[in-house]
Structure 1
Amino acid sequence: MPSSRVSPELRTLPSVAPSVTREREQRSGGRAAAVVTGLLALMVLLGQMTLASAPARAEAPHSVNVTDTTGEVDPEILESRLVDVDFRRDVDLVVLVLDVTDYGFEQSQDTALNDAAVAYSRDAAPELLAADDDHWADGTVILALDPENRFLGTYAGEDVKLDDSGFESVQDAMRDKADDGEWEESLEDGAEKYADLLDRPWWQHPGVLIAGLVVVGGLAVGALSALGLRRAARRRVDDALPRFEGVLAKHRLTAAAASTLPVESPYAEAALSDYRTYLEKIDEATQLRARIPAGNDRPWGWGLKGRQREQAREFESTVTYLDDTDDDIIATNDLLHRLGGWRAAWDRELQPLQDSIDALDSALDDGEDISAEETAAVADLLELSSDISAEMGELTTKLEADEIDPDSALERLDTLTTELSASVASLQSLRISRLAEDDDEAEVMRDASWDADLEHEERGYRSVRGRRHAMDAAISGNPTDIWHLSPLVWYSAWQHESNSDLESHRNPSSSSGSTSGYSAASGGFSGAGSSSRF
């Protein structure tokens, strides 16, 4: 691989003159005052609407009737609670606690509770039905619960019915307590929610309140966010500027390190690739710096515009890359020549494998009963990890004694990483075979979402071995092989993610959406209401 000495010249950064005038600052202040004034006015209006939302009248239920065919609630206690619920008109409040299977309906049938409520009413409480037998009686509000089969239902006469979203809101109000088995509290919450929604004044409708809150919140968020984003943008620039000066000060040293990398080293190409990107980023950062005013020359309003905030983010990101990459290039050169801080650079290459050795117990002790094949694989992995730990110490000793060259030591670390990765992959395959019940589940486990590169980045791995492997994988077009920079760290995280993904696959979140309507078994019944599961 050819190598040439690179000595890029440092560029003089253009100065940026102040661009804001007192008149512009006064206009900005005037706009801010207008926003605050509008915000206060709308808050006052919304407050008046909220205060005016108290109902003109509060009516206790005309009657309360609790029927429990399951023995799960105490009708007397529940009735004593429900008589105190304030509606806005006379209603007959009815609670039905039943088991849908008692009426011939299956738990898997979405309309089971709807149909069971109709069947119960026709059989035991015809007063709940209108004269046409196809609707609920006027003035009747029904809350239904099936504790065993986990259904909630709300039904009503045509004159006191809610819209579909209202029925769903009542069921939503009941769901948390029902999920905890607090049946009386669930039904009481449902009654209070129904009373709150029935004949609700237009100004108390969530749409109206939300619209007002959106306007007020929009102004508040707009004003506060703009100021917060402005501060963040300026802070990014202020933090990045001294780092960029440090990068420029170290530019010649970085260039010298890149130009003296040993051409025969397979690891030098990864560092040279980094350096080529580094040069591009130097140009980008210099151009961004020229467009960003210095602290003393920066107008008060700089950072309020999206374009300025984007410049700040790009500048910060670019400088962070440069600040890390120049260290990587210099460290790689030191290691390959055993100069300067080569020992720290070598420790950086050892760290991913050392982390895997340290993670051995937590990765393998998951508290599960494993197969004989997995037991044997774990034993092999333990033995291999012990050998790897010992060999890492030997490689360090040989490097310090100049008994092995750096390239050979790095190649040996790659071989150890490959062996450990293969052993982990074998254990992974055995685990999938044990836990997955079919091909789909096996695929779910293999595809368990976890970003190994992100994990390595968060752990601070800056390994030239990792960069060389990534570059080789990109060139070969085969990035999905079993190689992991820190195999047992990867495996430990994969276990957690695959367990979670498999559980989600087997038990997908059931929809809590309401089911309206009735089956043919209800004979064309078309009363208002719906049910849902909890």
Structure 2
Amino acid sequence: MQFRHSLTRCSAAAAVVLLGLAPGLPAAAASSSTIGVAAGANLEGISVYDTADVLNDEKIKDALSSIDFNEPTKVAVFSRQGEYSDDINSETLAFAREEHPEWISQDAEDYGDYWADGYFIITLSVEGHGDGQIGTYFGEDRKVSTSQMESIHEAGYEDFNLSRWTDGVIAVGAKGAKIMNRPWYKNPALWITTGVAGGAAGATGLVVLGVRASRRKEFEANLSTGREHLSNVTMDLDTTELSARTLPTGSRHAADLERRFADFMAKYRTLFARQQELEAATKKTRSSGSGVALSKDFIDTAQQLDATDDAIIAAAALYTRSATWQEAWRAQTAPILEDLAELPELLGGPDKKLGPAGSALRSFADTAQQEVQAVGTDLAAQVIDVDTALDRLSELRKQLTERLDAYAAARIGAYAKSEAEEKQMRAKLRKQRYASTGTRSGGSILDVTSPAEFFWRVSAFNIGYQSAVKAVNSSRQAASSSSGVSTGYSGGGSFSGAGGSSRF
């Protein structure tokens, strides 16, 4: 390891000297006029086998003959009429074995498993107007990396897409000549490294500063919002305590709220002390990940307490049928009515033809509206009690959740192209679903007493699905921008010569 480090330092120093960056040496020392090869040098031969009858042989020979190669190289160009399903790596190998065995290494130790040293083979497979595949293959002493091969192929894409087959082959040949056996001082990465290294430390410093500033901003936002929730709890404290005392015994929902109120005051006192600690936090703490985590816990707990006291006050109004009971009931129906109101927009997009899943949601929207109204009417007429009314609302919200589950499966199935994409989309939807089902203020008893997985809000579905689509699209874009070069030789036995092909 120490040797490698020393070698790296020596190489870097040599680079500085040879590039004319060291004191006392001219910058022109690395110019092609003094170190590079002459134009048209090192081309030992070029042959064109235009079986597709799409190339101008003389133009290719004239163009490549004027290009300098870094090392002595033999160029062979092979064109063919192909089909989309063709494996042109294997087709090139078969052509070489049958027609040009000199392309394959004859060295005894290679056993015919590699391309011959010094060779650069270009295969053009034409499938139609502007469509096909391009392949490049190299002797072991001329081979390049997959990313470099992709760069060589891309040089011809524009011409190939316009069916300018000859120009595309020339562009591929010229790019290959530039990259194969390229001297270290001609590598663009060296210039990029030299130019960027000096600024890397500064850039890293800016990133760190940006992260810290972002954390402080998040810390302040969490503290501010949490403070508002805690202030609401403080103002309603007396009313909450009085309401908790009036909750009836023998009621399932009331009993659940009573259990929560038993811990309410202890949590409130702890949270009040936590607020004071956060307000006194130093800049260092506010800039740290642990500090942001503390502020996030503060806002979550404050929101939970704010929602709990609202639910207790609403429950007391409902069970005692006080003057505000109708307002309290509206707080219970608000979540399901909001969801139903958002369904038309959800079902009006490009996925409206998803069959049973979409139809089930659409028909549910109509019947659920009527059921919510019926529950309110029965409660007002005292045909049912509060627990029964809440149970019927809970059942409606469960049914909506079940239909959203089915709809999510349909949309994922329609959009995803693989099991991996389906898994990615489900994970994004699940994350948003549970992130959005936390307790919220407003007085909904069910949102406080029911487990988070019971109810899936339509707004959370929309956000989650958009996030899922964005994630999949990003993955697809990353995949498409990565190497599209196909390597290997199907049916080629043990042959493992350097090279590969790509589509255009």
- Show structure 1 runs of 5+ residues with no match: 1-43, 472-478
| Letter in structure 2 aligned against 1:451 | L
Q: Which has the higher contact order (CA 8 A, sep 6+)?
A: 1
**How far did residue 283 of structure 1 move?**
3.4
- The 1:197–1:363 alpha-carbon spacing in structure 2 relative to 1, beyond 3 Å, is closer
Distance 2:269 2:137 in 1: 69
Q: Deviations over 1:249-291 (max 9, x none)?
A: 3443455565434365544536965984895586368458537
Confirm or deny: 8 A CA contact 2:146 2:485 kept in the other structure: no
1:96 lines up with 2:78 in the alignment: yes
**Match for residue 59 of structure 1 among 32, 35, 39:** 39
- The 1:532–1:333 alpha-carbon spacing in structure 2 relative to 1, beyond 3 Å, is same
Distance 2:463 2:358 in 1: 13
Q: What does residue 97 of structure 2 align with?
A: 119
**Match for residue 291 of structure 2 among 281, 293, 312:** 312
How many residue pairs align between the two structures?
Answer: 445
Secondary structure at 2:288 match in 1: helix
- Show structure 2 runs of 5+ residues with no match: 1-15, 318-323
| Letter in structure 1 aligned against 2:178 | D
**Match for residue 325 of structure 1 among 304, 308, 324:** 304
1:198 lines up with 2:180 in the alignment: yes
Distance 1:452 1:167 in 2: 40
1:530 lines up with 2:499 in the alignment: yes
Confirm or deny: 8 A CA contact 1:417 1:487 kept in the other structure: no
**How far did residue 246 of structure 1 move?**
3.5
| Letter in structure 2 aligned against 1:349 | P
| Letter in structure 1 aligned against 2:487 | T
- The 1:85–1:351 alpha-carbon spacing in structure 2 relative to 1, beyond 3 Å, is farther
**How far did residue 389 of structure 1 move?**
1.5
Confirm or deny: 8 A CA contact 2:219 2:291 kept in the other structure: yes
**How far did residue 224 of structure 1 move?**
0.2
1:454 lines up with 2:432 in the alignment: yes
**What does residue range 411-422 of structure 1 map to in structure 2 within 5 Å?**
411-421=391-401
Distance 2:209 2:463 in 1: 43
| Letter in structure 1 aligned against 2:210 | G
Q: What does residue 252 of structure 1 align with?
A: 234
**What does residue range 205-216 of structure 1 map to in structure 2 within 5 Å?**
205=187, 208=190, 215-216=197-198
Distance 1:426 1:237 in 2: 38
**Match for residue 515 of structure 1 among 484, 487, 493:** 487
Distance 1:179 1:285 in 2: 70
| Letter in structure 1 aligned against 2:100 | R
**Match for residue 385 of structure 1 among 361, 365, 370:** 365
Q: What does residue 456 of structure 2 align with?
A: 485
Q: Deviations over 1:338-377 (max 9, x none)?
A: 4496366335423454246435633796446x5xxx4xx8
Confirm or deny: 8 A CA contact 1:167 1:529 kept in the other structure: no
Secondary structure at 1:390 match in 2: helix
1:144 lines up with 2:115 in the alignment: no
Secondary structure at 1:59 match in 2: coil
Q: What does residue 9 of structure 1 align with?
A: none
Q: Is the deviation greater in 411-420 or in 53-62?
A: 53-62
| Letter in structure 2 aligned against 1:330 | D
| Letter in structure 1 aligned against 2:340 | Q
Confirm or deny: 8 A CA contact 2:347 2:358 kept in the other structure: no
| Letter in structure 1 aligned against 2:328 | W
| Letter in structure 1 aligned against 2:451 | A
Confirm or deny: 8 A CA contact 1:154 1:170 kept in the other structure: no
| Letter in structure 2 aligned against 1:191 | G
**How far did residue 411 of structure 1 move?**
1.8
Distance 1:284 1:52 in 2: 70
- The 1:330–1:111 alpha-carbon spacing in structure 2 relative to 1, beyond 3 Å, is same
Q: What does residue 7 of structure 1 align with?
A: none
Distance 1:71 1:285 in 2: 83
Q: What does residue 228 of structure 1 align with?
A: 210
**How far did residue 112 of structure 1 move?**
0.6
Confirm or deny: 8 A CA contact 1:100 1:116 kept in the other structure: no
Confirm or deny: 8 A CA contact 2:223 2:299 kept in the other structure: no
Distance 2:258 2:170 in 1: 69
Q: Identical aligned pairs, as a percentage?
A: 19
- The 1:203–1:132 alpha-carbon spacing in structure 2 relative to 1, beyond 3 Å, is closer
Distance 1:140 1:166 in 2: 19
Q: What does residue 348 of structure 2 align with?
A: 362
**What does residue range 258-297 of structure 1 map to in structure 2 within 5 Å?**
259=241, 260-261=243-244, 262=247, 264=249, 265-268=251-254, 269=256, 273=260, 276=263, 280=267, 283=270, 286-287=273-274, 290=277, 293=280
Secondary structure at 1:200 match in 2: coil
Distance 1:130 1:177 in 2: 33
Confirm or deny: 8 A CA contact 1:97 1:144 kept in the other structure: yes
Distance 1:129 1:516 in 2: 15
1:469 lines up with 2:450 in the alignment: yes
Distance 2:349 2:223 in 1: 42
Distance 1:214 1:72 in 2: 45
- The 1:485–1:223 alpha-carbon spacing in structure 2 relative to 1, beyond 3 Å, is closer
Confirm or deny: 8 A CA contact 1:154 1:530 kept in the other structure: yes
Distance 1:367 1:485 in 2: 22
Distance 1:229 1:165 in 2: 35
Secondary structure at 1:451 match in 2: helix
Q: What does residue 408 of structure 1 align with?
A: 388
- The 1:73–1:229 alpha-carbon spacing in structure 2 relative to 1, beyond 3 Å, is same
Q: What does residue 15 of structure 1 align with?
A: none
Distance 1:316 1:205 in 2: 49
Normalised to the residue count of structure 1, the TM-score between the two structures is 0.61
**How far did residue 465 of structure 1 move?**
2.6
Q: What does residue 35 of structure 1 align with?
A: none
**How far did residue 456 of structure 1 move?**
6.6
| Letter in structure 2 aligned against 1:529 | A
Q: Deviations over 1:191-248 (max 9, x none)?
A: 3432332343324547756765785464123210222123223333444444454444
